[in-house]
A and B are shown apart, each in its own frame.
Chain A
């Protein structure tokens, strides 16, 4: 395997991480996860329903996927730290996708609280993967305090707007050494390809698959987009040029006696 992806010392073949929420039903979710080729899937931590206990998501996924718990829905350092501790005990993993939300409508991270929560969790031995803003300064701070990856948003969670600031994502990729995983905002396969072409190590997708008209087909499209984008990044794209450059040779052209003109020739 010549292009392995590793987070916190664990190696994975797939660079696509997939969320488990918002699918039409569990059957579609399972088929979509399979079609995506993902090895890491995210879960949330919530109070168990004591009245009505159906099949738990753990029964469906454990053993087949690496379950990455999140702290979704946490707005303070205390909530996020508590949720991470519960997740560690429930799932037996030190990895935590740390979310500290700052605003209901944009679901943007609360960066000061996120940094504080990340510090506490790193001190407690957690391997912290923070969902963060697409800002190179916060990402370098998060790396410095010991996070194992950074997970900048491409656009607000569930918005499907794609990579709104590719320049920032590229800056982040250049300035941190830990894996960069775009989390949130992806709408379709080309968005994922763009993230990977910018040099990201992985992409986390949930709504764009779960709410697509055909989630299973979209999951496969995302898988192919991650692979295509990653290959293109490794292959090295050509520089952008303002003017055309012929691909066929200019030497040996047939001379029909006509003159070529360009807008510049008359000046």
Chain B
């Protein structure tokens, strides 16, 4: 299916947020990541259960330098 990750179209087999992060080479167990799906923040505790659907817009963010 096709989803949008951080503004870029992305092919992904059906699955959860946890699986998406893994497939992107991100470690879901490490702190510092947060995820929103279609404008709603999905807390870390729900990453293993939240199934992504075709067309979902996913934001994956982290902390960067800032003032």
Select B34's contact among A50, A90, A207, beta carbons within 8 Å. A90
B5 x A50 contact (CB < 8 A): yes
Task: Tell me the nearest residue of chain B to A50, going by C-beta.
Answer: B24
Tally of contacts, chain A with chain B, CB under 8 A: 106
Report chain B residues within 8 Å CB of A213: none
A86 x B64 contact (CB < 8 A): no
CA distance A91 to B31 in the complex (A): 7
Q: Which of B6, B7, B39, B62 has the most CB of A within 10 A?
A: B62
The stretch that binds B, out of A15-23, A190-198, A241-249, is A15-23
Closest CB in chain A relative to B48 CB, distance in Å: 15
Chain A at the B interface: SS class:
mixed
Report chain B residues within 8 Å CB of A133: none
Give the interface of A toward B (CB within 8 A): 19-23, 29, 42-48, 50, 53, 56-58, 62, 67, 69-70, 72, 82, 85-92, 157-158, 184, 204, 206-207
Supply 8 A–B pairs (Cβ within 8 Å), ascending by A.
A21-B67, A45-B62, A47-B60, A56-B63, A58-B32, A89-B34, A89-B41, A204-B67
Beyond contacts A22-B65, A69-B66, A72-B67: 18 other A-B pairs, Cβ-Cβ < 8 A, are A19-B65, A19-B67, A21-B65, A23-B65, A44-B64, A44-B66, A48-B26, A50-B6, A57-B64, A67-B63, A82-B36, A85-B34, A86-B36, A86-B59, A89-B41, A90-B33, A157-B67, A206-B67
